[in-house]
């Protein structure tokens, strides 16, 4: 997270003297989570630092202690949600080896379903903020970086397993793009339609990918 101040215990103690011992102020990560929800619920352009402070239970000065401005808080909110997805996938990998690429891809789908609310918020915020890309050229960098890392993860899966090693580089890249954009499509449609069964759609797509890969083995 790109915050001005990490949760340094020394910094906390130096400021905590003005607070009762039972109080616990939100740290930068918690403030970023609150900001993510507000940006998605309303719109980046109308949400103020004061709004975020009110929702997080802190004053504006505390937010500026951690973040230079709303743009930096926006980046931290996106990066926080994205990093959670990568960490959860890494945890899944540590829990046991996958028998084939289909199992590993299924785990990546599972991460999206477990964190669907946060990842949908990232998509919604990204769409909302796309109109600021000319005046704030770096605002979409965290989302762009997510797709770069997602592609790296998928290509690494393909390189590790026998059922995908036979695919050409172009086929692997195309499949990675298909998986990435399809997951985006599933999450986006679930934003638009309340009755859309996101889990069922994800499982159907998983089965399609598994069927395709089984024919390559």
Select from 25, 88, 36, 89 the least CA-distant residue to 59: 25
pLDDT of residue 178: 95
What's the longest Cα–Cα distance across the chain? 66
Determine, yes or no, domain membership for 58.
Answer: yes
Query: pLDDT tens per residue, the chain (217 residues)?
Result: 556 665 443 343 333 333 343 456 788 999 999 999 999 998 888 999 999 999 999 999 999 999 999 989 989 999 999 999 999 998 877 766 677 888 889 999 999 999 999 999 999 988 888 777 777 777 788 888 999 999 999 999 898 887 787 888 999 999 999 999 999 999 999 989 999 999 999 999 999 998 888 887 6
- Tokens standing for residue 106: 């299924």
> Where on the phi/psi map is residue 57: left (φ > 0), alpha (ψ -120 to 50), or beta?
left
Containing structural domain, residue 130:
9-214
Determine, yes or no, domain membership for 3.
Answer: no
Which positions ≥6 away from 76 have C-beta within 8 Å? Answer: 1, 2, 3, 28, 32, 35, 67
Determine, yes or no, domain membership for 45.
Answer: yes
- Tokens standing for residue 70: 């709303």
Determine, yes or no, domain membership for 102.
Answer: yes
Determine, yes or no, domain membership for 132.
Answer: yes
Determine, yes or no, domain membership for 176.
Answer: yes
Determine, yes or no, domain membership for 95.
Answer: yes
Total of domains in the chain? 1
Q: CA 129, CA 5: separation in Å to the nearest integer?
A: 25
Determine, yes or no, domain membership for 93.
Answer: yes
What CATH code is carried by the domain that includes residue 173? 1.10.357.10
- Tokens standing for residue 92: 């899944």
pLDDT of residue 5: 60
């Amino acid at each position: 997270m790109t915050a001005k101040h990490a949760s340094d215990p020394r910094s906390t103690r130096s400021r905590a003297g003005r607070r009762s011992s039972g109080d616990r102020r939100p740290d930068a990560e918690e403030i970023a989570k609150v900001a993510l929800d507000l940006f998605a619920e309303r719109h980046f352009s109308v949400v103020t630092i004061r709004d975020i402070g009110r929702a997080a239970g802190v004053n504006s000065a505390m937010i500026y202690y951690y973040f230079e401005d709303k743009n930096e808080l926006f980046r931290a909110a996106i990066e926080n949600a994205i990093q959670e997805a990568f960490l959860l996938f890494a945890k899944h990998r540590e829990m046991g080896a996958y028998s084939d690429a289909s199992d590993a891809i299924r785990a990546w789908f599972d991460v999206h379903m477990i964190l669907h609310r946060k990842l949908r918020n990232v998509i919604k915020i990204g769409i909302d903020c796309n109109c600021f890309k000319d005046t704030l050229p770096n605002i979409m960098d965290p989302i762009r970086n997510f797709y770069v890392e997602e592609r790296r993860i998928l290509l690494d899966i393909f390189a590790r397993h026998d059922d995908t090693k036979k695919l050409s580089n172009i086929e692997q890249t195309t499949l990675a793009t298909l998986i990435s954009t399809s997951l985006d499509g599933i999450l986006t449609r679930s934003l638009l339609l309340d009755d859309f069964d996101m889990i069922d759609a994800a499982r159907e797509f998983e089965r399609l990918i598994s069927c395709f890969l089984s024919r390559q083995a």
